[in-house]
Amino acid sequence: MKGWSGRSGLAKVDLYTRGTVYLIVWTAVLGQTLLLHARPVHEGRQLLLVMSASLLAVAEGVLCGRLARHAMDAYLGQGHVPRSLVSRAAAVTAATTAAVVALAATVDLAGLLAAGLAPFLTVHCLLVRNRTTALVQLAVLAVVGGLVALTGRTAAQVLFAVVTTGFVTGWMAFTARASMWVLAVMWELREARDVQARLAVAEERLRFGRDLHDVLGRNLAVIALKSELAVQLARRARPEAVDQMTEVQRIAQESHREVRDVVRGYREADLRVEVEGARGVLAAAGIACTVEWGEAELPGDVQSALGWVVREATTNVLRHGDARRCAISVRTADDTVVLVVENDGVAEAASGDAPGSGLAGLRERLSAVGGTLEAGPCRGGRFRLTARVPFKGGRDNGDIGDDVKEAV
């Protein structure tokens, strides 16, 4: 189980909100138990009723606690609530109320009724709509007024019991409902951010597919037509068949070169473009981003490698942390380019340990140009990713270009 410092901001809010609901339930149970034992009881029957009411209060707390867990999950769309659990919690709450009414002569009836009804009504408001919650509250207050009146209390005492119960149960229910509403909105924002990231990936795939289609579509059609024409000419022993196949060969080589250019443009990232794009994406997500540039001009292979680092770092900031500020710096030192991406939201996990993806994939890309990558938490609850690439990588630029061509 992760500690408090290892959780993201949303996970902390989720834990805090759930803990608040549980605290409301058990605060009411504790208050009910204390009120039951506030006055000394010596008569055997009364003592039995007090002990029974205390046990029922604890049972109500246990059942309402379990019900609260299911209710909160259901409110967030992460589960469902067993009907049998709702019925058992309601039955125990009714039994607790009956035991309190039986002790009306020796206890604080108004306080006990409010404390006894609060756990169930607090959790119940998470299961139904606001209108239904209001109707249930009014019905409960009417029952409370009738029960207090049956004990022989005056009209003022009846009114006091109704007002006390309404205020306590209403305030607790409102607190729980409002807290869960805020948590639900935060989860929706998190899901919207994930959807936005997936849409960006899908858009990039569509763009790449569209570029390939534009490059290959016409050329493949021409190759098919000229190949068919060459076949027909060859069957007739016409010398023009050789010319047609030569043209097919030329178009195929041209297509190969165009596809290579498309792939190279897709895989090679311009560092300044990537940094400015990262700043825009982070700003749209409500994350303040500062950029510090060095003055040196960087080779194309270095820019491409560091551009991929910026892409992955931005993805990690958005998806695996809870940052509010991010700083990107590019500087040179001793013929080495140093890229640092630092944010104040510690990542929950490094994304993608498999080769070719996430940080592991970045290390492979950087190693191809003699670079290194370091990532991890640092002081002040921050997360820092540092990439170092020499101006001249592990191999000459021409060798790297040859490898790219071979890969294409």
Q: With contact defined as beta carbons under 8 Å apart, do 320 and 348 qualify?
A: yes
Q: What is the distance, to the nearest Å, from the Cα of residue 125 to the centroid of all Cα atoms in its chain?
A: 25
Q: What is the mean pLDDT of residues 111-138?
A: 91
Domain boundary residue, one of 218, 250, 267: 267
Q: For the segment 385-395, what is each residue's pLDDT rounded down to a tens digit? A: 999 998 764 44
Q: What CATH code is carried by the domain that includes residue 316?
A: 3.30.565.10
Q: For the segment 194-217, what is each residue's pLDDT rounded down to a tens digit? A: 787 777 777 777 877 777 777 777
Q: For the segment 334-348, what is each residue's pLDDT rounded down to a tens digit? A: 788 999 999 887 654
> Is residue 252 predicted with pLDDT exceeding 80?
yes
2 in any annotated domain: no
Q: With contact defined as beta carbons under 8 Å apart, do 268 and 300 qualify?
A: yes
Q: For the segment 52-95, what is each residue's pLDDT rounded down to a tens digit? A: 989 999 999 999 999 999 999 999 988 889 999 999 999 999 99
Q: In terms of domains, do 110 and 234 share one? A: no
Q: In terms of domains, do 245 and 297 share one? A: no
**In the chain, % of residues over pLDDT 70:** 87
- What's the rounded Cα separation, in Å, for the pair 28 and 115? 5
326 in any annotated domain: yes
What average pLDDT does the structure give for the chain? 82
Q: What is the mean pLDDT of residues 225-242?
A: 87
44 in any annotated domain: yes
Q: In terms of domains, do 32 and 177 share one? A: yes
Of 33-42, 222-231, 368-377, minimum mean pLDDT range: 33-42
Q: In terms of domains, do 254 and 285 share one? A: no
> Is residue 22 predicted with pLDDT exceeding 70?
yes
Q: With contact defined as beta carbons under 8 Å apart, do 127 and 72 qualify?
A: no
Band (pLDDT 50/70/90 cuts) for residue 399 is very low
What pLDDT score does 321 carry? Answer: 62
Domain boundary residue, one of 240, 267, 294: 267
Q: In terms of domains, do 248 and 316 share one? A: no
Domain boundary residue, one of 157, 192, 227: 192
Global pTM reads 0.57
Half-sphere exposure (CA, 13 Å, Cβ side) for 56? 25
What pLDDT score does 393 carry? Answer: 43
Total structural domains within the chain? 3
Q: What CATH code is carried by the domain that includes residue 261?
A: 1.20.5
Band (pLDDT 50/70/90 cuts) for residue 352 is very low
Q: For the segment 127-166, what is each residue's pLDDT rounded down to a tens digit? A: 999 899 999 999 999 999 999 898 888 899 999 999 999 9
Q: Which two tokens stand for residue 149?
A: 């009146």
148 in any annotated domain: yes
Q: Looking at residue 250, what DSSP letter applies?
A: H
Domain span at residue 340? Answer: 271-407
Q: With contact defined as beta carbons under 8 Å apart, do 386 and 338 qualify?
A: yes
- What is each CA distance from 109 to 30, 98, 116, 144, in whole angstroms? 16, 11, 10, 10
Q: With contact defined as beta carbons under 8 Å apart, do 283 and 351 qualify?
A: no
What pLDDT score does 159 carry? Answer: 94
Q: What is the mean pLDDT of residues 100-111?
A: 82
What pLDDT score does 118 carry? Answer: 92
